[in-house]
Amino acid sequence: MAVVLYEDSEHKCVAFTDLVEGEGVQANQFAIVHQGHGMLLDPGGNLVYKQLFAQISDYFAPSNMQYVFASHADPDIISCLNGLLLMTDAKVLIAQEWERFLPHFCQKGISAGRLVSIPAQGLNISLQGLELKVLPAHYLHTVGNFHIYDPISKILFSGDVGASFVDNDVAATTVTNVSEHVNNHGVIEFHQRYMTSNKACKLWVQMIRSLDVEWIVPQHGSSYKGKETVEAFLGWFENLQCGIDLL
Ligand code: FE
């Protein structure tokens, strides 16, 4: 069942946490809806595509899908691209480093003119006049990696940063104790292995602290809600030794 993270008369953020079944890694998909127009974040692959497409129509008409955002180009992020391009008129936002790789998920020619490359410094995109921030998160974990900050809900959609490995129902919940969470749900092991270096973590934390973030919502597992929990997570992440620090 979809989880509504934020809702007011013209704005909604929705998480889909339970669509992956079987062998695939648990993954969350998201929709931001503003004045009836939508954007999908990290929609995933064929494992979830049919159900995701059916469920988003409870929140906005697929013909009003303006953007599909891919934090990077992994299979659990954007391998359903062919179907989305066929069924909607959405533009696809992805790092310039990955733009030329996406056509490999698609039938020949179908992605032509539909891909928008995000420059290294990020950008603001307008969803019905609402400016959403596309924030650089390079090397967390891929070269050319971005996150989305929504200034209305104050949610940071943090891609793989903050990811944990839990059952679908737990993914819909929020973390109560950050140190317990990072120790027990694969968070330490995942970040040590997949994140590139402490320098990247530190720069990202510095940038996130300059924003008014109420809720960090990753693409795998549970989320970090409330200023105190957000800060506890940032404090852990800025001191993490990972990737080439440990090589
Ligand atoms: Fe990934």
Residue 145 alpha carbon to ligand 1 centre in Å? 9
What's the pTM value of the predicted model, to 2 decimals?
0.97
> What is the average pLDDT score of the chain?
97
Q: Which residue has the tokens 């539909």?
A: 114
Q: Determine contact, residues 82/103, Cβ cutoff 8 Å.
A: no
Residue 71 alpha carbon to ligand 1 centre in Å? 8
The 10s digit of each residue's pLDDT in 78-110 is: 999 999 999 999 999 999 999 999 999 999 999
β-pairing verdict for 130-136 and 146-150: antiparallel
Nearest Cα to Cα of residue 152 among 3, 4, 1, 6: 6
Tokens encoding 59: 């929140």
Number of domains in the chain: 1
Nearest Cα to Cα of residue 33 among 3, 16, 8, 70: 8
Residue 141 alpha carbon to ligand 1 centre in Å? 7
- Cα–Cα distance measured from residue 192 to residue 201, given in angstroms and rounded to the nearest whole number: 11
Specify burial of residue 81 (Cβ count, 10 A radius: 0-12, 13-18, 19+).
buried
Read off the pLDDT band of 186 (50, 70, 90). Answer: very high
Q: Which residue has the tokens 């974040």?
A: 41
Given phi > 0 = left and psi -120 to 50 = alpha, else beta, which region is 114?
alpha
Residue 137 alpha carbon to ligand 1 centre in Å? 12
Nearest Cα to Cα of residue 140 among 195, 187, 198, 191: 195
C-beta atoms surrounding 235 within 10 Å: 12
Mean per-residue pLDDT, 220-228: 98
pLDDT at 1: 83
Phi, psi (degrees; rounded to nearest 5) at 235 = -60, -40
123: β partners: 134
Residue 182 alpha carbon to ligand 1 centre in Å? 18
Residue 142 alpha carbon to ligand 1 centre in Å? 7
Residue 176 alpha carbon to ligand 1 centre in Å? 25
Amino acid of residue 99? E
What DSSP element (H or E) covers 194? helix 187-194
On the question of pLDDT at 229 being above 90, the answer is yes
Residue-range definition of the domain harbouring residue 110: 2-246
β-pairing verdict for 130-136 and 65-69: unpaired
What CATH number does the domain containing 88 carry?
3.60.15.10
What is 166-230 written as a DSSP string?
--HHHHTSB-S-HHHHHHHSSHHHHHHHHS--HHHHHHHHHHHHTS--SEEE-SSS-BEESHHHH
Read off the pLDDT band of 162 (50, 70, 90). Answer: very high
Residue 203 alpha carbon to ligand 1 centre in Å? 19
The 10s digit of each residue's pLDDT in 37-81 is: 999 999 999 999 999 999 999 999 999 999 999 999 999 999 999
On the question of pLDDT at 118 being above 90, the answer is yes
